[in-house]
Structure 1
């Protein structure tokens, strides 16, 4: 018999972020050039982790509260963007080599995930965390 838990996934994965042209992103060096030793990355909680499950439950609870209050699940585009960002913030352990107005932690993540001009970042994170294969023990760092 084989213990099924040997196939368990890792709780986190690291995603090397890409720009809108699908090029890998790096923090700038002192001269403003990409520093290949400083990749811009997101360390993310996956579907097999407690933080991810907690984030899913919170999103579900927000929807249920809206249904109770309004009797329907209508949200504005701004509300939807904020809710999506809250989910991603909860699924983000850290952002590495990413700067935004000297913010850190959850504030940094939320700023990145709610800025429309860099909407390709939350889009790629959503895609990455929805794929269980990205959290397998043999999964390469993307």
Structure 2
């Protein structure tokens, strides 16, 4: 009997429980332990159209830079801005996270563009590289 390969398909999104800069899982504040909720982000994974579109945009920007400037080089500010845009494009939603009352894409751009909380962007970038985070049976999907 052959394997039905579709049984190995991955989920489009995955929940990432965020950690702080000291590598501690983040939770909302509350008086009781039962009041605390995980702080995290739902991201689109490599099996989703959103992820593929974001990857294509990165490639297209690189080609545009090459045509315009004759080189691929970027300043650190340009690189960080591009990374923030990419991560915002693959972010479905944040969970229990507030940044100056922002929502949607504006929230994502603010979070990923803030160097003082750059550990969040780093976690998301690493999370989406691993297909296993999007498997149907994974604890994060």
Written as runs of structure 1 = structure 2, the 5 A alignment for 1:1-142 is 1-29=2-30, 36-141=35-140
Residue 36 of structure 1 deviates from its aligned partner by: 5.0
Structure 1 residue runs of 4+, over 6 Å off? none
Q: Whose strand proportion is higher, 1 or 2? A: 1
User: Do the aligned residues in 2 keep the contact of 1:46 with 1:132 (CA within 8 Å)?
Assistant: yes
- TM-aligned CA deviation for residue 35 of structure 1: 7.1
Give the alignment's TM-score, normalised by structure 2. 0.93
Q: 1:52 to 1:39 in 2, by over 3 A?
A: same
SS of the counterpart of 2:77?
helix
**Aligned equivalents of 1:46 and 1:55: distance in 2?**
11
- 1:5 is displaced (CA, Å) by 1.2
- Distance in 2 (CA, whole Å) between partners of 1:6 and 1:124 is 28
Aligned-pair Cα RMSD in Å = 1.7
CA distance in 1: counterparts of 2:79 and 2:95, whole angstroms = 26
Structure 1: give runs of 5+ residues left out of the alignment: none
Deviation at 1:4, TM superposition (A): 1.1
What is the total number of aligned residue pairs between the two structures?
140
Contact 1:26 1:35 (8 Å CA) reproduced: no
Specify every segment of 5 or more residues in structure 2 that has no aligned partner in the other structure, as ranges. Answer: none
Aligned-partner Cα distance in 2 for 1:40–1:52: 22
- Normalising by the residue count of structure 1, what TM-score does the alignment of the two structures yield? 0.93
> Partners in 1 of 2:38 and 2:121 — Cα distance?
17
